[in-house]
Every structure is written in structure tokens, then in C-alpha cells.
């Protein structure tokens, strides 16, 4: 039976608590948020000893079912000041599942600052190892050294230099099946929370883990085949996502006038065709070599929406993966139309361990303030070097879009609850505007994406209801460890619950889980309220209400009252 492992970073003491009965279904965001809401004092300093960092997989973590191994990380966020969950692909959730760990809870912090450790977890136990010599290194160098020490089969969870400096754009990254450390729990500064605990990384060695005995292994295999068949026969997963990945979205957003361009001044990008999914696909295929237009970020995934973007000669990996949000925030939003440049920027961000959404938005704000010019790739690369060097300018950028706006006197800051808005202009896709505004997570497209809903995205009608459904759905998926991409193929979640039943012998009820998802959202909101973040923070920045998006001729026009519908 899976366990919760608590690691006290002050005493070094490790404690294990078994999960049983109904709790076997507990996982992902529902579990991280439950632990934070129950155990973290909402008013505490997010980087102080009272905060906790929680990592949880879903109830199918550790299995090879497609797209069920998302890793949720949670804490009180130093960026939003509220409760945070950010989830990622990579092998971590799988490793945790294999090691019988549903959640890791990092508590307290070391007596002294500047003392760094690594947690190594294997079937033989967990141990904190000194790691001062890794401090300050980029994520890639850290991962190479840890693989050299602990073997290539290990799974790694790491932070980079940005998080080590306690900066709010610092994320947590996880290795993919090939050992590439670029699957990010990017949002909300959770890497900074990890750093505040003196933790540089986690090494998972699961290869000698005993084979788990399922309640009904035959049934499990049969259901797994069913999932595989759905993924492989649904056009959205088997064709669009597999071929184009998340970037497939760009065609829609550009057409809708929702593609952030020049710090959310425009909603479509004149040079769109230079950076869209089709061009990226063709470039990867044409260059060949190490390039892969379709790649799995987690074990067992059949969708393979990730990719490997190669250098012009095909010999080197320029960046893996290239995703829609980064193309939007670091591409059109900065008026950069060069895929190779975006790949280099993205790769550098991955090495620094920084959220590309937050940093892209911060750069957009700095460009609007005149600190660097729009469209200037070398200025951006220089700014990234500032981030790497920890200069004041670099630190400002890596503190996020809101701090950048304050410091450089820019009023047009695309952020809600201090968290930067992802690559959907909320004036052109108003359901996302409702999600950005009302989600307890701050502006986050994954917290309730309405992009595929059957609404007129630029009109306000039905958007609040649409966002509500999407927010509950996201909570449910995030609590089951499911990749949101799976939803395109597996429309009936009972299939997933049947898999849980086949694994543990306990069949959760879907209606009950939906009810629990609603309760979890309420629990997150309650935490925020207790942290001082209330309904007044549930709104977009002023300029989205007052400036028309010229691409869609629409301003945001849902009132707070209309959006509060979501919370009922």
C-alpha cells in the first residue's frame, strides 16, 4: 500500500505514514492542497519554516497506463501568497508510484541558510545527502553529476540557480525517460520553496523496487489496452497532439485573436507562420538527426505530445520540449519570430530552472517599459545571462512579471494574484479570463481551460459556467494524476476509476469524486481567504477591461459579480 513520506528538513527525520481504505484514491492536487490547507498556517512566510512542500502522484502513479503519471507539487506560493499546485510530466510520479510513495512532504527548514542537500529514495529507504558542491550549477550540469553518481536509471527532481536564489519564477524540474531534466512544475515559485528547505534535488532509484501485486492484474491489463486503443484511435490524441503537441493550439489562438503579442497589446502575430506548430513539425522532420516531432515525456505515454527540437544540422538537441506556452510568451509576446532563437531561450530557461511563462511575461513587461526592445533576440539572451548571473536586473525578471512592472514603472502587467497570464488573451477567450480571475491558483490556463468549449470565446455569455466546469474538471484530472491531454481520448473517467479498482480493489465513485473536486476547490479558496486573498483579488488587471484587444475588438467585460458565479 502506498505511503506518505514526511521529511523534516531541520532534524533530517523521515517518517512514513501508510494510506489505506478510501484514502487510496487520494492523490495529485487534491492531496497536496489537502495537506497544505490542513497543515500550513495560511499567513506564514512562504519561504519560512512553517510552509511545506508537498509532492504527490495520482492513484495510478507507477503504472504504465498512458498519461497517468503527472506529478503535483504544492505549497503556499511565494509568488501568489496563496495555495499553489503545479503539475508536470517526467518520470517522478512514476518513480514515486513504483517506490510505494503517494506523497512526499518536506517540512521545516535547516538551521543555517546555504546548506544544501539531496534526498535519495530507493527501495532501501530515504537519506539526505550533502550537496553543497551542486549549488549554483545549472540544471543540466546538476543532472549530469547526479546521473554519474547514482546511475542513468535514476529519476531526478531538481531546482536551478533561480530557485536557489529564492526567486518566484523558480520552478521544479523533472527528468523525462531519457534523462532530460525539463519537465517543469513551473508555476508559482515552488522551486523557491524547495530551495528554502535547503533541498537541491531528489534522486529516485526505483529499478530494484519489487513488482507490485495488483488486486486484479488481468483486468488491469485489459483496461490498460482499452486506454491505449482510445488514445491510438482518437484523432485529437493520435494525430493532432502526437504530431504537433501543445503547439497545435496556436492556430486556434491566433485565429481567435488570443495569441499574446507584444506584451498582450495584440491578439495575433504577423509572423505567426514562422513559429507555429506546422513550421516546427516540418523543421524537426527536415533536420532529422536527434530531432523527434513526437516524444513521450513520461513512461507509458502513447500520446507523445512532447518533442525534441534539433539544431540545424540535426546533431544537437536545441531544446526539448518546445511547447505552446513558451512559443507564445517568449515568441509572439516578445515579437520574436525565430524558432531557433526561441529554442535557445527555452533551453537556457530550462538550465536556469525558471518558469518560461512567468519570465516571458516579465520580459514583455520590461520591453514595454523600454528596458529592452521588442523582437531583439540578443537583448533577451543578454537578459537571460543577467538571470544566470543573478544581477539585480536578472533577479527582478526572475521575480516575475508583477515585480518587473513595479520596478520598471509599467502599468500593463498581465498577471492575476501576481502570477503571469499564460498564452491566451482573456479578452479574446473570456472563459480563460474567468479562470485566470477566479482560480485560487492565480492566472493559470491548466486550472480550467475553456479553449475547447463550445462557446463564442470573445463574448461573455456562458463563460462563467464554462470556466466552472473546466475548473472542476481540471481539479479532478489533477487529483488523479492524469495528463489533461488524455481527456481528448478518454472521455469517460470511469475507465480510469476501473483501473484504480483493478489496482487496489477499491472502486471510487465518479460522482463522489466530482463532489470532492468541488470541495477541494473550495478548500483552496478557503486557504487563500485565510491567507488574506479574497474576492477582490479575483479580477484581471485594469488594462484588460479598459483596452480593446485590436485583433478581436473586444475588452474584458465580465464583472466580479458575474464571475463569482463560478464560486457557487
Nearer to a second copy, 42 or 62 (CB): 42
- Bond prior to 321 in cis (omega within 30° of 0): yes
Minimum CB separation of residue 413 from a second copy in Å reads 9
Nearer to a second copy, 95 or 367 (CB): 367
Nearest to 26 by CA among 444, 567, 523, 531: 523
Minimum CB separation of residue 492 from a second copy in Å reads 41
End-to-end CA distance of the chain: 36
d(C-alpha 208, C-alpha 450), whole Å: 42
Minimum CB separation of residue 264 from a second copy in Å reads 15
Minimum CB separation of residue 135 from a second copy in Å reads 13
Residues in contact with a second copy by CB under 8 A are 42-45, 47-48, 50, 78, 165-168, 391-393, 395-396, 399, 403, 406-409, 411, 530-537, 539, 541-542
Helix (H, G, I), strand (E, B) or coil at 17: strand
Nearer to a second copy, 186 or 394 (CB): 394
d(C-alpha 134, C-alpha 143), whole Å: 10
User: Could you tell me where the DSSP H helices lie in 92-151?
Assistant: 92-98, 139-150
Give the CA-trace dihedral at 391, 324, 537, 335, to 10 degrees.
60
Beta strands in 343-423 (DSSP E): 415-416, 419-420
529 by Cβ neighbours in 10 Å (0-12 / 13-18 / 19+) ranks as middle
Minimum CB separation of residue 540 from a second copy in Å reads 11
Minimum CB separation of residue 126 from a second copy in Å reads 27
Strand 101-107 and strand 53-56: the pairing is: antiparallel
Minimum CB separation of residue 519 from a second copy in Å reads 22
Nearer to a second copy, 2 or 189 (CB): 189
Nearer to a second copy, 1 or 411 (CB): 411
Nearer to a second copy, 399 or 446 (CB): 399
119 by Cβ neighbours in 10 Å (0-12 / 13-18 / 19+) ranks as buried
Minimum CB separation of residue 368 from a second copy in Å reads 11
Nearer to a second copy, 461 or 557 (CB): 557
Nearer to a second copy, 39 or 278 (CB): 39
Nearer to a second copy, 66 or 80 (CB): 80
Report DSSP letters for 169-209, one per residue: TB-EEEE-TT--EEEEE-GGGHHHHHHHTTEEEEEE--TTP
Long-range contacts of 149-155 (CB under 8 A, 24+ apart): 150/120, 150/203, 150/205, 151/205, 151/207, 152/179, 153/205, 153/207, 154/203, 154/204, 154/205, 155/90, 155/91, 155/92, 155/94, 155/95, 155/203, 155/204, 155/206
Minimum CB separation of residue 275 from a second copy in Å reads 29
Amino acid at each position: 500500500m502506498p505511503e506518505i513520506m514526511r521529511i523534516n528538513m531541520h532534524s533530517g527525520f523521515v517518517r512514513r505514514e501508510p494510506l489505506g481504505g478510501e484514502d487510496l484514491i487520494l492523490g495529485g492536487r487534491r492531496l497536496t492542497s489537502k495537506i497544505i490547507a490542513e497543515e500550513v498556517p495560511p499567513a506564514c512566510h512562504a519561504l519560512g519554516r512553517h510552509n511545506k512542500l508537498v509532492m504527490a502522484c495520482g492513484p495510478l502513479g507507477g503504472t504504465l497506463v498512458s498519461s497517468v503519471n503527472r506529478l503535483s507539487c504544492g505549497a503556499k506560493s511565494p509568488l501568489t501568497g496563496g495555495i499553489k499546485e503545479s503539475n508536470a510530466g517526467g518520470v517522478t510520479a512514476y518513480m514515486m508510484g513504483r517506490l510505494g510513495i503517494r506523497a512526499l512532504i518536506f517540512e521545516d527548514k535547516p538551521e543555517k541558510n546555504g546548506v544544501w542537500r539531496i534526498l535519495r529514495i530507493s527501495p532501501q529507504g530515504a537519506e539526505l545527502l550533502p550537496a553543497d558542491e551542486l549549488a549554483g550549477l545549472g540544471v543540466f550540469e546538476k543532472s549530469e553529476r547526479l546521473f554519474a553518481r547514482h546511475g542513468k536509471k535514476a529519476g531526478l527532481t531538481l531546482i536551478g540557480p533561480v530557485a536557489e536564489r529564492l526567486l518566484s519564477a523558480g520552478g521544479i524540474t523533472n527528468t523525462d525517460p531519457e534523462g532530460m531534466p525539463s519537465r517543469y512544475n513551473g508555476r508559482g515559485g515552488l522551486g523557491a520553496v524547495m530551495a528554502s528547505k535547503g533541498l537541491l534535488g531528489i534522486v529516485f532509484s526505483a529499478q530494484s523496487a519489487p513488482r507490485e501485486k495488483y488486486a486484479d492484474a488481468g483486468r488491469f491489463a485489459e483496461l490498460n489496452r482499452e486506454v491505449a486503443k482510445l488514445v491510438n484511435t482518437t484523432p485529437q490524441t493520435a494525430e493532432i497532439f502526437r504530431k504537433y503537441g501543445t503547439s497545435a493550439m496556436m492556430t486556434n489562438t491566433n485565429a481567435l485573436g488570443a495569441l499574446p503579442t507584444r506584451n498582450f497589446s495584440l491578439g495575433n502575430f504577423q509572423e505567426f507562420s514562422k513559429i507555429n506548430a506546422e513550421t516546427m513539425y516540418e523543421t524537426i522532420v527536415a533536420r532529422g538527426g536527434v530531432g523527434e516531432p513526437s516524444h513521450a515525456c513520461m513512461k507509458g505515454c502513447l500520446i507523445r505530445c512532447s518533442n525534441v527540437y534539433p539544431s540545424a544540422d540535426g546533431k544537437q538537441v536545441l531544446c526539448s520540449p518546445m511547447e505552446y506556452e513558451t512559443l507564445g510568451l517568449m515568441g509572439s509576446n516578445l515579437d520574436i519570430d525565430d524558432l531557433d532563437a526561441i529554442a535557445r531561450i527555452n533551453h537556457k530557461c530550462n538550465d536556469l530552472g525558471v518558469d518560461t511563462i512567468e519570465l516571458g511575461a516579465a520580459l514583455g513587461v520590461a520591453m514595454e517599459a523600454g528596458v529592452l526592445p521588442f523582437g531583439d533576440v540578443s537583448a533577451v539572451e543578454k537578459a537571460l545571462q543577467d538571470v544566470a548571473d543573478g544581477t539585480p536586473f536578472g533577479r527582478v525578471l526572475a521575480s516575475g512579471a508583477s515585480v518587473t512592472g513595479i520596478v520598471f514603472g509599467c502599468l500593463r502587467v498581465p498577471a492575476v494574484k501576481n502570477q503571469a497570464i499564460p498564452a491566451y488573451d482573456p479578452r479574446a477567450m473570456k472563459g480563460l479570463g474567468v479562470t485566470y480571475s477566479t482560480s485560487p491558483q492565480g492566472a493559470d490556463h491548466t486550472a480550467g481551460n475553456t479553449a475547447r468549449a463550445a462557446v463564442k470565446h470573445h463574448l461573455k455569455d456562458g463563460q462563467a459556467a464554462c470556466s466552472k466546469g473546466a475548473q472542476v474538471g481540471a481539479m479532478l484530472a489533477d487529483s488523479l494524476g492524469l495528463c489533461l491531454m488524455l481527456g481528448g481520448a478518454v472521455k469517460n473517467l470511469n475507465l480510469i476509476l476501473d483501473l484504480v479498482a483493478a489496482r487496489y480493489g477499491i472502486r471510487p465513485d465518479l460522482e463522489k469524486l466530482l463532489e470532492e473536486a468541488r470541495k477541494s476547490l473550495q478548500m483552496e479558496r478557503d486557504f487563500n481567504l485565510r491567507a488574506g486573498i479574497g474576492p477582490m483579488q479575483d479580477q484581471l488587471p485594469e488594462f484588460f477591461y479598459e483596452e480593446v484587444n485590436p485583433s478581436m475588438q473586444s475588452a474584458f467585460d465580465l464583472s466580479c459579480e458575474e464571475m463569482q458565479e463560478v464560486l457557487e
